[in-house]
Amino acid sequence: MIWFPRLVGVLTLLYGISALVTPRPIARHVELDDPASPGPATRLLSGTVGVRDIVSGIAIVLAPAGAALAAALGARVAFDAGDALLFGRLSPTSRARRKVAAIAAGWGLVAASSIGFAGW
């Protein structure tokens, strides 16, 4: 089932492209700005998350099966855990903190569960 970790990589890559193209989803979910007109800080955050997710998605898609793929997935899990912790503590409203922490933790669990299919 090597397709499962590869799918995680493709979805990560697509989200990264989305975040790089438009900051509106991050503005909406994190409640940093008006999603219709995100400010410079939200655009910077979205771009940073986008580049990180593009790179980690490509790493997951292209890593050889086995230890290299497991390491790429482990990095993805670490990114998502960091997002859950930081967005969950620093987002401006309690609703945004709960929502974004849950989304990040959920994606981290998906990535973590795919490590077992990395082709050991």
* pTM of the predicted structure, to 2 decimals: 0.94
DSSP secondary structure code for residue 117 in this structure:
G
pLDDT mean values, one per 10 residues, the chain (120 residues) = 96 98 95 93 97 98 98 98 97 96 97 93
Distance (Å, whole) CA 101 – CA 105: 6
- Judged on CB neighbours under 10 Å (0-12, 13-18, 19+), 119 is middle
Domains: count for the chain: 1
Which pLDDT score is estimated for 2? 94
- Domain extent for 59: 3-117
Which pLDDT score is estimated for 120? 72
